[in-house]
Structure 1
Amino acid sequence: MSVKVAIQGINGSFHQQVAHAYFGNDAQIVACKTFKEVAKQLKKEEADYAVMAIENSIAGALIPNYALIDTHQFHVLGEYFLKISLNFMALPGQSIEDITEVHSHPIALLQCAKFLEKHKHIKVIESSDTAIAAQRIRAGNLHGVAALAGPTASQMYDLEILVPEVQSVESSITRFMILEKESASSSVCTINKASIKFELDDTPGSLATVLNVMNNCGLNLTKIQSMPIIEKPFQYSFFVDVIFEDYACFEKARSILEIMTTHFKVLGTYTVAELPVSEICKNKNKEQAIVLV
């Protein structure tokens, strides 16, 4: 029996690509208009899992999604990195000069800011999802309107890519979290990454002390994101990702941090995901070029 996976967006979206890449093409997609609806579907068990973007290498963190994961007590089952390819697409037979509007998700528009600045005759309009923008063009037979979306959307809705890869930075990568309602058992042998959340008191240097504990226990900090605590003005909770070679190192750090912090919580322990191979190769080649110079 195939699993049901809740995503923000529709078929052709980047979330759908991640859902099928992680769970297989047999996974049933539960399309949602918003991330709040994604959380609702998972909470009500209308979906077995959820896929949720958490940060982008250009646009940064999606802080509201951290709040959704925390508020609903979801468990992070894993992560997935996807190279974001944004393409300027429209109904076939048109040129870029024929286009008067472009529709896409706000973050996608932000990632293509340099391209859009070169074409000031095109009106920029925000959409709830990249694939929805493409779908509407096909459904409404909208000439003069373009979408910024992935190549999957182009194929699915039979749109012509007028200009490929228009994102401002070529190596735009989004990190997605794979969520489940409650933690299922998994092999400790494969776990080498953890996402945690904690709060601190007003003691001077408390955050520095926490970071030292992580370092002394052999944890490598890969992400730290602060988020305001609404009921405590100018105080913050911290969402942290760490990787480790030995699960025992994490358990040791956890036992200490539970004492040192307030509201300590493990959001999930899982296996580190790999960056897209092409991006790794590019980075290595760049490093080699620098050495040669």
Structure 2
Amino acid sequence: MINELELRKQLLKMGNEKIAYFGVPGSYSHEAMLNIFGEEADAIYRESFEEVFKVLVEGKVKYGVLPIENSSTGGITDVMDLLKKYDCYVVGEKCIAINHCLMGIDGAKLEDIEEVYSHTQGLLQCKEFLEQHKQWKLFDYYNTAKSAEYVKSSNSIHKAAIGGKAAAKLYGLNIIKQPINSNKENYTRFIIISKELMSFENSDKISIILNLPHVSGSLYNVIKVIYENNLNMMMIESRPIMGMPWEYSFYIDFEGNLKEERVKKAIDIIKEKSADFRLVGNYKKDM
């Protein structure tokens, strides 16, 4: 696992920098931010992914923290799309275990529940548990912590939220059942974004976004370059290109450091084969 103290030293080498994270206090993004930057972090929160990007590009914060991938449900494509939209870079990542709880106000029992609130990811990651209670109405809410806050304010034994222990504690809710996520090895990978491209001596992961010509074999030719240069591809996700039906951009992660000759060679060739190319980051992976 990546050493949080070392990452923090690298990212905060200029002093106490301001950070923005997605969600609210008690959310998993808040937990990830604290794991990376510590309790002393000068942090603000925003309740949408795009707002985190906006305050970053406006210069109001030095770093942003957002989820990018879950081990159960895959890539968080909204964040990938925003990485393409905004001129910023991934400078680090942190994986944290996600153990969801069903929580309600004092006195609420499983048989009382009629409505359940959580972020889309929270609902998806607890699909098997929720399918055992098909009578419940499910509501896609802002985020897990905001869902806990809403259930607390409703003061109804018929409403419950899905989220983490930190949210239950912060908003004074009782845990009715835990853990309820379908995959007991459930992790979310969070990225740290910056307006500056940073690469450290121990950086070993590269992220790129590219558009490919709409011709036969274009994706194969890129994957072949990665293979021929002995680079391990860790993730690939296709995204539709707005205004260009049936054409796609690709978000790709592979191992390597920008100082390596084989990496430089691979990137140069991939650029030549791409209709559009952007280096998103070179950073230390966290597994």
Question: How high is the TM-score relative to the length of structure 1?
Answer: 0.87
- Say which of 137, 141, 149 aligns to 1:123: 137
Deviation, structure 1 residue 272: 1.1
- Say which of 201, 215, 220 aligns to 2:232: 220
Alignment match, 1:62: 76
Q: Can you list the C-alpha shifts for 1:86-127, whole angstroms capped at 9, x where unaligned?
A: 101112233211222211112211221221222234322221
Alignment match, 1:144: 158
Deviation, structure 1 residue 48: 1.6
- Structure 2: segments with no counterpart, 5+ residues: 1-14
- Say which of 169, 182, 194 aligns to 1:180: 194
Alignment match, 1:202: 214
Deviation, structure 1 residue 230: 1.7
Asked if residue 251 in structure 1 is aligned to residue 252 in structure 2, the reply is no
Q: Is the 8 A contact 2:107 2:157 kept in 1?
A: no
Deviation, structure 1 residue 140: 4.1
What is the DSSP-based 3-state SS (H/G/I as helix, E as strand, rest coil) of the residue aligned with 1:58? coil
Indicate how the Cα distance of structure 1 residues 121 and 211 shifts in structure 2: closer, same or farther if over 3 A, else same. closer
Q: Is the 8 A contact 1:191 1:247 kept in 2?
A: no
Deviation, structure 1 residue 59: 1.9
Q: How many aligned positions are there?
A: 272
- Share of identical aligned residues, percent? 33
Q: Is the 8 A contact 2:57 2:87 kept in 1?
A: no
Deviation, structure 1 residue 152: 0.8
Residue identity opposite 1:130 in structure 2: T
Alignment match, 1:4: 18
Asked if residue 260 in structure 1 is aligned to residue 273 in structure 2, the reply is yes
Alignment match, 1:232: 244
What is the DSSP-based 3-state SS (H/G/I as helix, E as strand, rest coil) of the residue aligned with 1:6? strand
Alignment match, 1:98: 112
Indicate how the Cα distance of structure 1 residues 232 and 120 shifts in structure 2: closer, same or farther if over 3 A, else same. closer
| Alignment RMSD | 1.8
Indicate how the Cα distance of structure 1 residues 140 and 66 shifts in structure 2: closer, same or farther if over 3 A, else same. same
What is the DSSP-based 3-state SS (H/G/I as helix, E as strand, rest coil) of the residue aligned with 1:190? coil
Residue identity opposite 1:19 in structure 2: M
Indicate how the Cα distance of structure 1 residues 208 and 120 shifts in structure 2: closer, same or farther if over 3 A, else same. closer
Alignment match, 1:19: 33
Deviation, structure 1 residue 218: 1.8
Question: How high is the TM-score relative to the length of structure 2?
Answer: 0.89
- Structure 1: segments with no counterpart, 5+ residues: 275-293
* Equivalent-residue separation in structure 2 for 1:249 and 1:5 (angstroms): 34
Q: Can you list the C-alpha shifts for 1:35-67, whole angstroms capped at 9, x where unaligned?
A: 111111111122221111112122222222111
Residue identity opposite 1:4 in structure 2: K
Deviation, structure 1 residue 247: 2.7
- Say which of 224, 228, 253 aligns to 1:241: 253
* Equivalent-residue separation in structure 1 for 2:221 and 2:114 (angstroms): 55
- Say which of 88, 110, 128 aligns to 1:74: 88
Q: Is the 8 A contact 1:192 1:247 kept in 2?
A: no
* Equivalent-residue separation in structure 2 for 1:201 and 1:113 (angstroms): 38
Q: Is the 8 A contact 1:98 1:144 kept in 2?
A: yes
Deviation, structure 1 residue 139: 3.5
Residue identity opposite 1:271 in structure 2: K
